[in-house]
Amino acid sequence: MAGKHTIADIARLAGVSKTTVSRVLNHKPDVDPITRERILRIVKEVGFVPNLIASGLAGGHTRLLGVLIPSFASPFVAEIMHGVSEAIADTPYELLLYHLNEMAYENNKRDIIRHILVSRLTTGLLSIFPGPWAEHVVRLHTDEGYPVVMVNDQAAPPTIPWVGIDNRAGAQQAVQHLLALGHRRIAHIQGPMQYYCSQERYTGYCEALKNAGLSLDPALVAEGHFNRAGGYDAAMAFFSLPIEQRPTAIFAANDLSAYGVLDAAAKYRVNVPDDVALIGFDDEYSSVLVRPELTTIKQPFREMGRHGLNMLLSMLDSSKHSTTVMSAFAVHEQKEQSDSSLHMQLDTSLIVRASSCGVAESQTLSSL
Amino acid sequence: MAGKHTIADIARLAGVSKTTVSRVLNHKPDVDPITRERILRIVKEVGFVPNLIASGLAGGHTRLLGVLIPSFASPFVAEIMHGVSEAIADTPYELLLYHLNEMAYENNKRDIIRHILVSRLTTGLLSIFPGPWAEHVVRLHTDEGYPVVMVNDQAAPPTIPWVGIDNRAGAQQAVQHLLALGHRRIAHIQGPMQYYCSQERYTGYCEALKNAGLSLDPALVAEGHFNRAGGYDAAMAFFSLPIEQRPTAIFAANDLSAYGVLDAAAKYRVNVPDDVALIGFDDEYSSVLVRPELTTIKQPFREMGRHGLNMLLSMLDSSKHSTTVMSAFAVHEQKEQSDSSLHMQLDTSLIVRASSCGVAESQTLSSL
DNA sequence: CTGTTAGCGCCTTCAA
DNA sequence: TTGAAGGCGCTAACAG
């Protein structure tokens, strides 16, 4: 039975105390180099791996990091997780998955979050798309001092460590692209307005129009719920406007809504991009499969995951140092400071495909 | 600071011993009902949650289950995980994620798997799409007796607990659908033939043809690598055949390949489904987004995840009972027996959309 | 039914 | 530079 060794076994084999073995395992400096080599050799020989549970208990903290994800439904989450697992690959930490079934729970959101803290399994938390959980996650950090990083969502101004994108700038990119193509009547299909990112994208849309000297036409703005049906409904409304009021271009707050626009366009026999140009937001996998392929604003999901996890790791690192090296006051000072730098906004990028201008079609097809 | 309680605290508050508290926490029967109620009340009041790390150490096994996933790239994995987390939701277990970056690792696959065993973090393992890891996962179960369930992949005859589908029957469903539509020249785009599921799907294809009294035309079979480019290449080859040899229908071993067929059809100006009918396998999310929408064989991914996790839980359960209740010999007997019933083959289902017969188009569109 | 006594395997003082 | 001793919070025998 391989691997059933304990530190005691190694100590016996090496003829030293358990303490010494523990020291070399934890990279403490105060060990005779010769002894260290001998121990390491034995460790390798017998394939010893320390019991993480035991060391978690004794050390007061585990090597587990929690990842709170809202749902697997969204392909983004998978992309983000991809980045997360890349980042964790060469660390000694492991990932504990907290999945929140979307329904039920309404009342005990707080309990579930608290459970994460109180069960003491994890040493830190990465919260992806917190959505309705955001406030509890924030409190976990603010009130309890638990190391938390939020990925890709934010309460108005982010108050805790956070990695995301500049939704406003992304929306401006989108609208500017349409403006550059000569469009003047540009519609917007909003996301759910209780989300900050929806508000930001809408703001970006408004600003881009204003910068171009265009006024906002309320008839060209509709809420689309971030899903296909919502996009469909919104687009149907646009297409049923009198011809001279119709938009010549649509900026959908996410790709899913844009798919709905394509449905509506097919129904109305509106040609995309000739009759109406279309741009989405996210760059989902499916956006190269729909016809025409969807122009969109790409979010760097994988990078978000990677940076988020790295940020969490660095927080753990610095808190470890601080508690041993610095006075309580100094700790507080440094925390304030590093927190303020713990807001990372990644860049979005414009991906031009056929849905905004026909010429792109041949390019993307040939790139297959 | 909420939740910093230990069993000792509860014991003090309730005026009983720690042991008693531990007993009610672990649902042992031998506790005075009155005392039990009192303890539970206090536990609730102070919001006590036992330290899982400590109980893992003391009890000799944790409440963590490992999930080994090959990559987040595939949307299936997300679906399966969805089922997994549904199943784990009302158990006291948590999920530990082992993610295998596809590359590197070639040499230390074994080490990584061994690490799972040896680090003792988890009590059992759910291995999703093991692919190249399969043999090591199998050995983990066979040689080390570690509780393992494989989801949706299998070495020739599955030798360890396993949940998946009947790929052969699924393929037959697909081909029979095409036969029923009157097609006689049905092509097949295979998956990578080193995968058992690809072989099975191919076998199902052959059998369905034979049952219909048709002979196999080697020109109508091509390997497609399970991806879009592979499907494209294969379809290009089919479409460049002399007209009378061309297939009137194509069964792609997965949806991705089928997307490639659509690309090729667009290039060749072949109309789907009028010139060639198309059916895929998997029912990916995107298959309702491509045009025409893709007829396909749906795999019940979520159910696989759910059943897989439940199977793992029941294995843990029974092994717990067996080690305490039965002799070593009896344990072995029961293990053999339950293992043999621990192979679950779920049903696939045929999803008819526009790519196989035009009439379906209006139906699916209207269901939006 | 309940409490007492030992650890689980490791880390962390403290003293040598 | 090393070792011995104590404890992390809980569970699992044992007795009562």
B334 touches strand D (CB under 7 A): no
Query: How would you label A106-143 residue by residue, b for 16+ Cβ within 10 Å and e otherwise?
Result: eeebeeebbebbbbbbbbbbbbbbbbebbebbbbbbee
CB contact under 8 A, A79 and B72: yes
SS (H, E, C) B213-259: CCCCCHHHEEECCCCHHHHHHHHHHHHCCCHHHCCCEEEECCHHHHH
Distances B244 to A88, B183, B185, B221, B248 between C-alpha atoms, Å = 56, 13, 10, 16, 10
Strand D atom within 7 Å of A29 CB: yes
Place of tokens 């672990």: B26
Task: List beta partners, residue A163.
Answer: A151, A344
Interface of A with B in 304-363 (CB under 8 A): none
Task: Tell me the β-bridge partners of B188.
Answer: B221, B251
- Whether B281 and B201 have beta carbons less than 8 Å apart is answered as yes
Query: How much is the CA Rg of chain B, to the nearest whole Å?
Result: 26
How far A113 CA lies from chain B's nearest CA (Å)? 12
CB distance A194 to A176 below 8 Å: no
Task: Write the Ramachandran bin of A181: left for phi over 0, alpha for psi from -120 to 50, otherwise beta.
Answer: alpha
CA nearest neighbour of B291 among B349, B226, B355: B355
CA–CA distance, A65 with A82 (Å, rounded to integer): 15
Q: Which of residues 57-86 of A touch strand D (CB under 7 A)?
A: 57-58, 60
Rounded to a whole number, what is the distance in Å from the CA of B235 to chain A's nearest CA?
14
* Rounded Cα distance, B320 and B307, in Å: 20
The four Cα atoms A352, A358, A360, A364 give a dihedral, to 10 degrees, of 110
Average pLDDT over residues A91-119: 76
**Rounded to 5 degrees, what are φ and ψ at B153?**
-170, 155
Among the residues of chain B, which ranges form H helices? 7-14, 18-25, 33-46, 52-59, 75-88, 109-118, 134-142, 167-180, 196-211, 228-239, 255-268, 301-325, 328-341, 360-366
Residue A52 has its nearest CB partner, among B120, B144, B229, at: B120
Which is nearest to A82 in space by CA: B67, B72, B128? B72
- The b-or-e profile of B136-154 (16+ CB within 10 A means b, else e) is bbbbbbeeeebbbbbbbbb
Q: What is the pLDDT of residue B334?
A: 37
Contact A118 B2 (CB under 8 A): yes
Report in angstroms the alpha-carbon separations of A93 from A25, A97, A135, A314, B179. 15, 13, 26, 13, 53
- Check B53 against A62: CB less than 8 A apart: yes
pLDDT recorded at residue B330:
35
Q: Is the pTM of this model over 0.85?
A: yes
Is the separation of the CB atoms in B346 and B164 below 8 Å? Answer: yes
Query: Measured between alpha carbons, how far is B279 from B201 in angstroms, rounded to an integer?
Result: 13
For B128-151, give the DSSP string. Answer: ES-GGGHHHHHHHHHTT---EEEE
CA dihedral B60, B64, B70, B72 (to 10 degrees): -160
Q: Which of A323, A340, A345 is nearest to A161 (CA)?
A: A340
Among chain B residues, CA nearest to A97: B95
Place A155 in a pLDDT band, splitting at 50, 70 and 90. low
DSSP-based three-state secondary structure for A265: helix
Structural tokens at position B343: 């192979």
CA dihedral A42, A48, A54, A56 (to 10 degrees): 100
- Measured in degrees and rounded to the nearest 5, phi and psi for residue B26 equal -100, 20
From B259, B246, B257, select the one nearest B220 (Cα to Cα).
B246
Residue-by-residue pLDDT tens, chain B, 368 positions: 345 789 999 999 999 999 999 999 999 998 999 999 999 999 999 989 999 999 999 999 999 999 999 877 777 888 899 999 999 987 889 999 998 765 545 556 677 788 888 888 999 999 998 877 888 888 889 888 899 999 987 666 668 899 999 999 999 999 999 999 999 999 999 999 988 899 999 999 999 999 999 999 999 999 999 999 999 999 999 999 999 999 999 999 999 999 999 999 999 999 999 999 999 999 999 999 999 999 999 999 999 999 999 999 999 977 654 433 333 333 333 333 343 368 899 999 999 999 998 664 444 443 44
Best mutation target, A9, A97, A271, A283, to test chain B (most B CBs within 10 A): A97
How far apart, in whole angstroms, are the C-alpha atoms of residue A2 and residue B104? 25
| Residue type at position A123 | T
Rounded CA gap, B362 and A348, in Å? 37
Report, in ranges, which bases of strand D sit under 7 Å from a protein C-beta.
1-13
A contact residues 11-70, partner B, Cβ 8 Å cutoff: 47, 49-54, 56-57, 62, 64, 67
Q: State the pLDDT at residue B335.
A: 37
Helices A75-88 and A301-325: angle between axes, nearest 10 degrees: 40
CB proximity list for B77: less than 8 A, separation 6 or greater: A78, B69, B70, B71, B128, B129
Work out how many CB contacts closer than 8 A connect A with B.
145
- Chain mean pLDDT for chain A: 86
Q: Which of A99, A105, A233, A294 is best to mutate for the B interface (most B CBs within 10 A)?
A: A99
